[in-house]
């Protein structure tokens, strides 16, 4: 057998699944090569997309719909039927395409010869591996399997395989929830993660829990839903963040209490004690009596009144929720901190309403201590063969862990990495795995949610890859320890076949339905977790809730947190991720050290100064970014940068935060400690220009990202936006776009816009739709998934670090981040305004009249269109654009930067732009036309509201973006814009009459600036 999957079976199923997929009714079929079509397959209509349901690769296991064109995956979107992700996709999900088409993937199995690798055949590689395992077993040595995240079927297969070869397995993730899991076990005796129902809560406390940054679209949506204002009900959930540093999550908070690193437990217990009062009984009664608000104030550095007030409001809330430290806040006592948060929840009555014990994610909770144990075993010479699958410990462990030395001792090391990484570089044999979009599998992100992972295209032909499951099956059969399936596909199907053996419709029919929906077992969805309130137990281990210890003599606490873009570093070799501005710092490509302005000033450090950060465990040189969202006694560094062997883009970009960290497992849970060391920071005297897209974070009271106080809502005199009241018909007119004549009143025109405006450029009234958008700033969490979705949909090129430094980023959409009321000197809010800025499609567009060749013009449907072919490149339009949303092709970014097969990711519906021309957001014109044509041709009707979904709206888990016809008063967008919060950026200043409308952010404090 030379191929892991029987190609005929594979394609038969694929064809069958897509025949069932009624979305378009097309699919690839039995052809060896996808292009060119000598004989055109019947199922593929060139130019028409085919969609497949599958599951995303990370532990969150979001459901995907993958759009393919002519047999190539070109766009990833969320599966709206998926019970957890509900149609949302995170940044990394979109960027999976770049990992699929990554030119740095291995061309085939690589066999080490001295210092180099030689490409071999699969048969050769598998026989070699089988032989090595055979020798190893004969020598009486064991096999080690270091695995990252994998689906249940693969996990089962690995266990079966290891049984046959005397192997042991360690699961390792750079980021994990082990402390929360252990805390839940201690508190309730349930060794599972609890599920936080963020959406249901009305008062959310996050103790250094960065759930938005962690890539959970469900939590992102939950935050948006609980925290955004409901104007009808006049309600809005409160979100307070307690932690030393504001992550993207924290920037959404209404209040920030910058408590000291490690004081979460004391603060949570003190709040619980305050709420419970003296009549509390139960296993924690004595403990609670030991903590008072005064203790918490002393430990956290926050004044007593603020904490007491917070506790009072928390207990008064109907459905409060407190979240203990997540992966960005794991210190040496984080299990206790999570336990304290659970106690606070329990006391406040949150358990059973917003905290469901059990039913959380079942993955990603493997402790770091297991890995440390495995390292010491490896160092002892017990293992002769080691496998690494889905993990990169040589990069993501601190040097102090001794992984590299121990791993190096193993005589035969096998990596399943599909592209080079730091661990694969040490391997003796590399058996490149397939990307999840090319392979079979399943996922179980939560109990009761079991989803299908199916190939959406034939494997990218540049890379002779083979699914790890098939490799293990083949090796097992070489070894004579057959597992009972010839391909992983069969192995995956077998249990389902057994389960549905009696199904009257026949198993094939059931299986087809699984593939169509992307789900196994449709009846088992829903929330999961118990709504009963379990009893608190007496903890079975000794606990201390005092502040954790920190290493080293430095004077600043180092906070190492997973990057919102690279997470632990596995997503780093993607230009989309590298060039995406970090949601917090807006810096691309390189690393930065976050430092409070007061700290920076005291040390004479300015933004862009390169400093040496020294801990007991290592030192890195990194430029400083001055950030008011971090405590004065802390600095922060993101994970995921500083790769040494990870492909052309990630290698050398930034520094690795692990170089500074001790190799310490948290004593109780064994979780990896990321906030555990002190550092000293000294300037090197060198500076650099930051690769940032941020010009100024001060909106200077201009009408850009205003806010409205919650108490002021509903008090506007006419129930309409203030702006509209001044300008008479302007609001109405703006709905149509274009300068329109003002209806005369008593023979006199009503002033504004000018009466002569009906002779303007776009005066001829058009009866069709006027496309427009509503963006609710109260919902936007700043996560930036829309930006990556836009890149993917519209073939937006990346330009590289040097070009971003020059200010030439090409993004069509940027999330602006303004600060208001910055005062980090005391416990107070940092009022942050996220503003997704894209082409505003102005009715009275400043860019249009200045173009000498009509390369930019207004369509009758109100879209400001850009004709790339006609553009000469005078750049006058960009100069005259007050929103600065026009981007220019300074070089041939689309061909020079994009090596084969990375160019396969281009969306064939959108042209790639050449050197010397302007481009910008088109409202996803290709999607508008597709929907219009489909409606007209297939059903002979007009397009319905909601049929057109631009890429940004599609990916917005926070539901902040709504696109539609402004001229139709019943459309969703028109309904939303009825809100009194509606405004248009800069419009009152320059009368641009944009089609993109924003809804003001709602704050609980009075709006002092930028309203």
Partner 1 sequence: MAIGTTERGALTHPDVHRLDDVNRDVLKMLTVPGKGWWMLFGMCIAGVGLFLSAWFWQIYKGIGVSGLMSPVGWGVYITTFVFWVGIAHSGTLISAILFLFRAPWRQSIYRAAEAMTVFAVMTAGLFPLIHVGRVWHAYWLIPYPNSRFLWPNFKSPLVWDVFAVTTYFTVSAVFFYLGTIPDVAAARDRATGLRRKLYSVISLGWQGTDRQWHHFGKAYIFLAALATPLVLSVHSVVSWDFAMSIVPGWHATIFAPYFVAGAIFSGVAMVITLVVPLRKIFGLEAYLTTKHFDAMAKLCLFTSLIVLYAYLSEFFLAWYSGEDPERHAFWNRLFGTYWWATWTMLVCNGFVPIMLWFKRIRHSIPALFVISIFINIGMWFERYVIVVTSLHNEYEPFAWGIYRPSVIEMSIMVGSFFWFGFWFLLFTRLLPPIAIQELKEVLPPPMRKKRSPEVAEAHQ
Whose Cβ is closer to partner 1: residue 386's or residue 799's? 799
875 forms part of the interface with partner 1 (CB under 8 A): yes
Whose Cβ is closer to partner 1: residue 667's or residue 846's? 846
**Displacement of CA 383 from its chain's centroid (Å):** 37
In angstroms, what CA-CA distances link 1003 with 260, 706, 707, 874, 951?
25, 10, 7, 42, 29
Whose Cβ is closer to partner 1: residue 420's or residue 918's? 918
Q: Are 400 and 662 in contact (CB under 8 A)?
A: yes
Which positions ≥6 away from 43 have C-beta within 8 Å?
A: 15, 18, 19, 26, 27, 28, 29
Whose Cβ is closer to partner 1: residue 22's or residue 764's? 764
Rounded to 10 deg, the angle between the 507-517 and 7-20 helix axes is: 70
Among 80, 381, 553, 807, indicate the residue that binds partner 1 (CB under 8 A): 807
Whose Cβ is closer to partner 1: residue 687's or residue 892's? 892
Among 696, 764, 937, 970, indicate the residue that binds partner 1 (CB under 8 A): 696
Task: State which H helix or E strand residue 963 sits in.
Answer: strand 961-965
Least distance in Å: CB of 537 to partner 1? Answer: 51
Q: Are 166 and 159 in contact (CB under 8 A)?
A: no
Report the chain's terminal Cα–Cα distance, integer Å: 69
Stretch that binds partner 1, among 90-98, 519-527, 687-695, 995-1003 (CB under 8 A): 687-695
Among 29, 477, 697, 859, indicate the residue that binds partner 1 (CB under 8 A): 697
Among 435, 446, 841, 886, indicate the residue that binds partner 1 (CB under 8 A): 886
Least distance in Å: CB of 855 to partner 1? Answer: 9
Whose Cβ is closer to partner 1: residue 815's or residue 952's? 815
Cite the DSSP H helix spans in 277-428: 285-289, 293-300, 304-316, 334-348, 368-379, 393-396, 403-409
Least distance in Å: CB of 373 to partner 1? Answer: 49
Whose Cβ is closer to partner 1: residue 119's or residue 915's? 915
Q: Are 93 and 792 in contact (CB under 8 A)?
A: no
Least distance in Å: CB of 236 to partner 1? Answer: 26
884 forms part of the interface with partner 1 (CB under 8 A): yes
CA 896 – CA 583 distance, rounded (Å): 28
CA 510 – CA 506 distance, rounded (Å): 7
Among 891, 903, 947, 1009, indicate the residue that binds partner 1 (CB under 8 A): 891
699 forms part of the interface with partner 1 (CB under 8 A): yes
CA 567 – CA 213 distance, rounded (Å): 8
131 forms part of the interface with partner 1 (CB under 8 A): no
Which pair of structure tokens corresponds to residue 411?
């005589």
92 forms part of the interface with partner 1 (CB under 8 A): no
Stretch that binds partner 1, among 190-198, 264-272, 485-493, 887-895 (CB under 8 A): 887-895
814 forms part of the interface with partner 1 (CB under 8 A): yes
Whose Cβ is closer to partner 1: residue 492's or residue 918's? 918
Whose Cβ is closer to partner 1: residue 507's or residue 876's? 876
Which pair of structure tokens corresponds to residue 721?
């936006």
Q: Are 406 and 393 in contact (CB under 8 A)?
A: no
Stretch that binds partner 1, among 88-96, 127-135, 872-880, 942-950 (CB under 8 A): 872-880
Whose Cβ is closer to partner 1: residue 295's or residue 816's? 816
According to DSSP, the residues that pair with 388 across neighbouring strands are: 146, 415
Least distance in Å: CB of 96 to partner 1? Answer: 29
Least distance in Å: CB of 806 to partner 1? Answer: 5
Say which residue the tokens 């209509």 belong to. 45
Stretch that binds partner 1, among 128-136, 342-350, 507-515, 844-852 (CB under 8 A): 844-852
989 forms part of the interface with partner 1 (CB under 8 A): yes
Stretch that binds partner 1, among 249-257, 291-299, 801-809, 999-1007 (CB under 8 A): 801-809
* Burial environment of residue 717 by CB neighbours within 10 A (0 to 12, 13 to 18, 19 or more): exposed
Stretch that binds partner 1, among 150-158, 561-569, 637-645, 691-699 (CB under 8 A): 691-699
Which pair of structure tokens corresponds to residue 840?
């505003």
812 forms part of the interface with partner 1 (CB under 8 A): no
Least distance in Å: CB of 813 to partner 1? Answer: 13
Say which residue the tokens 């005297």 belong to. 685
Among 156, 808, 821, 944, indicate the residue that binds partner 1 (CB under 8 A): 808
Among 127, 308, 500, 892, indicate the residue that binds partner 1 (CB under 8 A): 892
Among 544, 806, 826, 1004, indicate the residue that binds partner 1 (CB under 8 A): 806
CA 662 – CA 676 distance, rounded (Å): 7
429 forms part of the interface with partner 1 (CB under 8 A): no
Least distance in Å: CB of 835 to partner 1? Answer: 8
Which pair of structure tokens corresponds to residue 147?
């695995």
Q: Are 102 and 420 in contact (CB under 8 A)?
A: no
Q: What's the angle, vertex CA 352, arms to CA 348 and CA 356, rounded to 5? A: 115
Window 750-779: contact mask with partner 1 (x via CB under 8 A): -----------x------------------
838 forms part of the interface with partner 1 (CB under 8 A): no
Whose Cβ is closer to partner 1: residue 651's or residue 897's? 897
**DSSP H helix total and E strand total for the chain:** 32, 39
Whose Cβ is closer to partner 1: residue 324's or residue 800's? 800
Size of the site for partner 1 (CB under 8 A): 57
Using DSSP's 3-state secondary structure scheme, residue 622 falls into: strand
Contacts (CB under 8 A) with partner 1, residues 904-943: 915-918
Stretch that binds partner 1, among 199-207, 477-485, 501-509, 807-815 (CB under 8 A): 807-815
Contacts (CB under 8 A) with partner 1, residues 958-987: 986
Stretch that binds partner 1, among 9-17, 134-142, 479-487, 811-819 (CB under 8 A): 811-819
Contacts (CB under 8 A) with partner 1, residues 846-865: 846, 849-854
Which positions ≥6 away from 966 have C-beta within 8 Å?
A: 735, 736, 737, 769, 770, 771, 772, 862, 973, 974, 977, 995
Stretch that binds partner 1, among 123-131, 263-271, 529-537, 869-877 (CB under 8 A): 869-877
Q: Which residues of 955-990 are buried (b: 16+ CB within 10 A; e: fewer)?
A: bbbbbbbbbbbbbbeebebbebbebbbbbbbbbbee
990 forms part of the interface with partner 1 (CB under 8 A): yes
Q: Are 515 and 17 in contact (CB under 8 A)?
A: yes
Least distance in Å: CB of 1001 to partner 1? Answer: 15
- Dihedral angle sign, alpha carbons of residues 624, 629, 630, 631: positive
Whose Cβ is closer to partner 1: residue 507's or residue 890's? 890
Least distance in Å: CB of 446 to partner 1? Answer: 38
Instruction: Annotate 498-563 with DSSP letters as a single string.
Output: HHTTT-TT-HHHHHHHHHHHTEE-GGG-S--S--S-PPP---SS----SPPP-BSS-SEEEEEE-B
821 forms part of the interface with partner 1 (CB under 8 A): no
Among 803, 971, 974, 979, indicate the residue that binds partner 1 (CB under 8 A): 803
CA 349 – CA 317 distance, rounded (Å): 10
Q: Are 557 and 550 in contact (CB under 8 A)?
A: yes
List of residues contacting partner 1 (CB under 8 A): 693-702, 704, 761, 803, 806-809, 814, 816-818, 835, 837, 846, 849-854, 870-876, 878-880, 882-884, 886-892, 915-918, 986, 989-990
């Amino acid at each position: 057998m030379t191929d892991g999957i029987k190609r005929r079976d594979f394609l038969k199923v694929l064809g069958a699944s897509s025949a069932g997929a009624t979305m378009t009714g097309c699919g690839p079929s039995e052809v060896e090569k996808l292009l060119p079509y000598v004989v055109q397959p019947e199922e593929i209509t060139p130019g028409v997309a085919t969609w497949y349901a599958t599951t995303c690769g990370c532990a969150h296991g979001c459901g995907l719909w993958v759009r393919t064109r002519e047999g190539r995956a070109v766009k990833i979107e969320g599966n709206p039927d998926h019970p957890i992700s509900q149609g949302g996709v995170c940044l990394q999900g979109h960027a999976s395409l770049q990992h699929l088409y990554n030119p740095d993937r291995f061309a085939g199995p690589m066999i080490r010869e001295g210092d180099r690798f030689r490409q071999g055949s699969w048969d050769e590689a598998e026989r070699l591996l089988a032989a090595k395992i055979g020798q190893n077993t004969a020598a009486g040595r064991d096999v080690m399997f270091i695995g990252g995240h994998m689906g249940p079927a693969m996990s089962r297969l690995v266990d079966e395989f290891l049984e046959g070869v005397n192997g042991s397995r360690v699961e390792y993730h750079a980021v994990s929830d082990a402390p929360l899991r252990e805390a839940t076990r201690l508190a309730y005796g349930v060794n599972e993660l609890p599920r936080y129902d963020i959406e249901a809560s009305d008062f959310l406390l996050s103790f250094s829990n960065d759930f938005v940054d962690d890539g959970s679209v469900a939590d992102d949506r939950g935050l948006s839903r609980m925290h955004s204002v409901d104007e009808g009900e006049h309600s809005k959930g409160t979100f307070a963040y307690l932690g030393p540093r504001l992550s993207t999550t924290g920037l959404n908070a209404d209040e920030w209490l910058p408590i000291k690193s490690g004081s979460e437990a004391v603060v949570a217990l003190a709040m619980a004690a305050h709420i419970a009062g003296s009549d509390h009984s139960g296993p924690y009664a004595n403990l609670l009596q030991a903590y008072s608000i005064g203790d918490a104030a002393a430990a956290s550095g926050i004044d007593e009144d603020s904490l007491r007030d917070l506790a009072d409001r928390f207990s008064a809330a109907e459905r409060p929720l407190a979240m203990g430290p997540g992966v960005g806040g794991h210190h040496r006592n984080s299990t206790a901190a999570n336990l304290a948060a659970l106690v606070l929840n329990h006391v406040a009555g949150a358990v059973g309403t917003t905290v469901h014990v059990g039913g959380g994610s079942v993955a990603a909770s493997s402790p770091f201590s297991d890995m440390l144990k495995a390292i010491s075993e490896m160092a002892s010479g017990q293992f002769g063969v080691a496998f690494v699958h889905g993990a990169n410990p040589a990069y993501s462990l601190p040097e102090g862990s001794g992984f590299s030395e121990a791993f190096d001792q193993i005589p035969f090391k096998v990596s399943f990495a599909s592209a080079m990484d730091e661990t694969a570089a040490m391997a003796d044999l590399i058996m490149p795995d397939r990307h999840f979009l090319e392979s079979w599998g399943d996922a179980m992100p939560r109990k009761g949610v079991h989803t299908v992972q199916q190939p959406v295209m034939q494997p990218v032909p540049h890379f002779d890859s083979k699914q790890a499951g098939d490799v293990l099956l083949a090796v097992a059969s070489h070894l004579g320890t057959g597992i009972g399936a010839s391909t992983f596909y069969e192995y995956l199907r077998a249990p389902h076949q057994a389960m549905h053996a009696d199904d009257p419709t026949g198993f094939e029919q059931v299986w087809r339905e699984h593939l169509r929906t992307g789900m196994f077992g449709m009846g088992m969805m829903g929330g999961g977790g118990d709504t009963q309130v379990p009893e608190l137990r007496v903890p079975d281990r000794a606990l201390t809730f005092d502040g954790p210890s920190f290493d080293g003599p430095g004077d600043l606490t180092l906070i190492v947190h997973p990057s919102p873009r690279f997470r632990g570093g596995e997503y780093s070799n993607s230009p989309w991720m590298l060039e995406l501005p970090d949601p917090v710092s807006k810096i691309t490509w390189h690393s930065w050290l976050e430092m409070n302005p007061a700290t920076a000033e005291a040390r004479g450090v300015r933004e862009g100064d390169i400093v040496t950060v020294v801990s007991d465990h290592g030192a890195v040189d990194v430029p400083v970014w001055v950030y008011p969202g971090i405590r004065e006694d802390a600095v922060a560094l993101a994970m995921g940068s500083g790769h040494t062997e990870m492909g052309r883009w990630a290698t050398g970009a930034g520094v690795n935060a692990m170089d500074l960290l001790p190799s310490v497992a948290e004593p109780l849970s064994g979780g990896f400690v990321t906030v555990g060391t002190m550092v000293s920071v000294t300037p090197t005297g060198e500076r650099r220009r930051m690769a940032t897209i941020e010009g100024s974070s001060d909106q200077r009271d201009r009408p850009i990202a205003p806010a409205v106080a919650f108490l002021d809502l509903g008090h506007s005199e006419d129930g309409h936006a203030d702006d509209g009241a001044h300008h008479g018909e302007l609001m109405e007119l703006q709905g149509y776009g274009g300068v329109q004549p003002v209806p005369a009143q008593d023979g006199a025109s009503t002033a504004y816009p000018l009466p002569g405006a009906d002779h303007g450029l776009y005066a001829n009234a058009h009866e069709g739709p006027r496309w427009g958008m509503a963006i609710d700033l109260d919902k936007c969490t700043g996560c930036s998934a829309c930006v990556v979705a836009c890149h993917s949909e519209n073939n937006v090129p990346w330009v590289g670090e040097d070009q971003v430094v020059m200010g030439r980023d090409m993004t069509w959409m940027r999330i602006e981040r303004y600060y208001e009321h910055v005062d980090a000197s005391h416990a107070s809010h940092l009022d942050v305004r996220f503003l997704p800025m894209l082409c505003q499609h102005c009715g009275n567009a400043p860019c249009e009249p200045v173009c000498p060749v009509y390369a930019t013009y207004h369509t009758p449907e109100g879209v400001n269109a850009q004709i790339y072919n006609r553009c000469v490149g005078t750049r006058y339009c960009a100069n005259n654009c007050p929103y600065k949303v026009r981007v220019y092709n300074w070089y041939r970014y689309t061909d020079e930067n994009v090596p084969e097969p990375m160019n396969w990711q281009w969306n064939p519906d959108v042209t790639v732009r050449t050197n010397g021309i302007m481009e910008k957001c088109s409202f996803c014109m290709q999607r508008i036309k597709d929907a219009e044509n489909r409606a007209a041709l297939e059903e002979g009707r007009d397009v319905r509201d909601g049929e057109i979904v631009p890429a940004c709206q599609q990916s917005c888990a926070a539901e902040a973006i709504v696109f539609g016809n402004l001229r139709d008063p019943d459309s969703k967008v028109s309904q939303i814009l009825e809100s009194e919060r509606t405004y248009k950026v800069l419009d009152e200043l320059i009368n641009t009459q944009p089609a993109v409308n924003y809804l003001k952010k709602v704050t609980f404090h009075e709006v002092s600036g930028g309203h």
